[in-house]
Amino acid sequence: MGASWTRSFRKEFQVKKLNIFPSTPELLLEPRWHIPPWAWLLYRLSSLIYTLAWCIHSALLFATPKWLILLSHLTYCMLGVYYLTALVNLAVVLVSIRRFCGRKVQEKSSGVSSERRASFPLTTPLAVSLCLQWLLQVIVSAFSLIVSLLYWSIHYPVSRHPIRPFSINLHVVNSAQVLLDLFLSSTPVHLSHYVYLLAAGLLYLLFALVFWLGGFTNIYGEPYVYPVLDFGGQPVLAVLCTLGFALICLPLFHLVLWNVHLLRERLARGPWGKRFALRREAWWWGGVGGLAPFPSPALDPELSVFAGREGEPQLLLTAPSHGYCSLSTESPSDCHSSA
């Protein structure tokens, strides 16, 4: 495992890993495990409802717009935006593929279409939305873990606020949510995406600096967002905390998430995991498209079930009149036939 980890680590330092749009976009949509499409959609919906309910509770509890300046509250609201984006993307693709497969089978049955194969197109708005989904997950996942650590190690020992369900959800359940989502989904984690995480962290720190320079006050009437970011009263501590957050906390927890991603993939490819890991061709064209999947080899994980962009391979759908669905990257003359 040590050699495998080292190889994976070295591969992360490639320019192409910086891309926020994966070569196989369905990885941002599908589960990593054999979860039916309707159950996966229900998981996305329930996660959104749960998070949204707590966001509304937080807003009503503090009854001031200033509650959003706190990193824990802001991160949890961003988690809700991530769940909303993921739900909308998934719902749009599920409905589109269902209609796409039904239309192609109907065309083949009626003899209207002479084409033996067709590829499902990935529209530009959907591609942009998938990029946003991945970016949000990168930021929210690391920030949630950092919020939990900093709250229980620094803030709580000093403040000694009573432990309430609100605090547990915001500083414990939040981390459980992002870890569960990463473990259940197929979304990859790349170390090079730290640059996006760093940009988000610096934006928040810049906001804290402008907040102090502008003479604004937090929900307790104090002239800073957090006591450790008091650039006027404790400038040295504020600078050290800023550097520690950007150069230690962010890369450290991003590395933790990358290792969770590696563990997920190792389990899925192991003897136990193979029984529960997702079969992409059956899930997309069988479970989502409503077609009986043709008995073909498992898809190459480097290929996409969506139409490839220019210069990339396309994974094509065969929808013959007997209602079976097969996937292939071969030429149109190499069509599968029913047994």
Q: What is the average pLDDT value for the chain, to the nearest integer?
A: 82
pLDDT band at 97 (very low <50, low <70, confident <90, very high): confident
**Exposed e or buried b for every residue in 293-322, given b needs 16+ CB within 10 A?**
bbeeeebeeebbbbbbeeeeebbbbbbbee
Give the type of residue at 52: L
**Which tokens go with 160?**
């000694």
**Which tokens go with 169?**
């959800």
Per-state percent for the chain, helix, strand, coil, to nearest 5: 65, 5, 30
Provide CB contacts within 8 A for 62, sequence distance 6+.
Answer: 219
Helix (H), strand (E), coil (C) string for 211-224: HHHCCCCCCCCCCC
The mean pLDDT value for 23-39 works out to 91
What H or E segment, with its residue span, contains residue 317? Answer: strand 316-318
Q: When comparing pLDDT for 279 and 134, which is higher?
A: 134
Q: How far apart are CA 187 and CA 94, in angstroms?
A: 17
Give the type of residue at 199: A
Unique residue bearing structure tokens 């995406």: 193
Least confident of 16-30, 272-286, 287-301, 323-337: 323-337
| Percent of the chain clearing pLDDT 90 (strictly above) | 52
Task: Return the closest-CA partner of residue 146 out of 81, 197, 208.
Answer: 197
Question: Sign of torsion, CA 319 323 328 334?
Answer: negative
**Exposed e or buried b for every residue in 119-141, given b needs 16+ CB within 10 A?**
ebebeeebeebbbbbbbbbbbbb
CA–chain centroid gap for 252, Å, is 19
Give the type of residue at 226: Y
Specify whether the backbone of 195 is left (phi greater than 0), alpha (psi in -120 to 50) or beta.
Answer: alpha
Radius of gyration of the chain (CA): 23
Q: Is the pLDDT of residue 255 over 90?
A: yes
The mean pLDDT value for 232-260 works out to 94
Domains of the chain by residue range: 2-291
Q: How far apart are CA 34 and CA 325, in angstroms?
A: 19
pLDDT given at position 138: 97
pLDDT given at position 316: 40
The mean pLDDT value for 110-118 works out to 50
Give the type of residue at 288: V
Q: When comparing pLDDT for 204 and 311, which is higher?
A: 204
pLDDT band at 14 (very low <50, low <70, confident <90, very high): confident
